[in-house]
Amino acid sequence: MQSNDDRHEDAQLRGLLREWQVADAPPSLEQRVLKSCTPRRRAWWRFLFTGYIRVPVPLVYVLAALLTVAVWRVTAHAPTRPCVADAHSTTEGRASESRPASRCDHPLPGVC
């Protein structure tokens, strides 16, 4: 339990401590803090050049598989060019009526 003297000294000390007053935060601090905490606004189109997105790894697997299948299909089932000579033989009639082409206009040698 505190004696009267102690209480008096505490009150005195408290009064003395109150004599050290500190000013409030300077106004410039507000700009400084809010500037560093508020996200800067950027033009939306800048995202097209500088932005990035996070993609889940399973989605990357799926996209890679789809790309592989697409490439395989394109290369395996690419239509071959019909031979000019074959085209001649089919359009000119039956085999019995066929005769060697007298003139060949194909630019590649050996085709006719």
Partner 1 sequence: MTDSDFRDAFHRHKDTVYRFAYRMTGSSSTAEDVVQDCFVMFWRKPEAYHPERGALRAFLLGVARNLVLKSWRRERPHAMLSDALEDQSYAGRPFDFAAQERAEAVKRAVLLLPPPQREALILAEYEELSLEEIAAATGAEIAAVKSRLHRARGNLRKMLEPLFAMER
Binding site for partner 1 (CB under 8 A): 9-10, 12-14, 16-17, 19-22, 24-26, 29-30, 32-34, 36-38
> Residue 11 CB, nearest distance to partner 1 (Å)?
11
- Cα distance between residue 2 and residue 9, in whole Å: 11
Closer by beta carbon to partner 1, 12 or else 98: 12
> Residue 21 CB, nearest distance to partner 1 (Å)?
7
Task: For residue 89, give the nearest of 79, 97, 81 by alpha carbon.
Answer: 97
DSSP assignment of 43-86 equals: -GGGHHHH------HHHHHHHHHHHHHHHHHHHHTPPPPPPHHH
Closer by beta carbon to partner 1, 12 or else 89: 12
Closer by beta carbon to partner 1, 20 or else 52: 20
> Residue 39 CB, nearest distance to partner 1 (Å)?
9
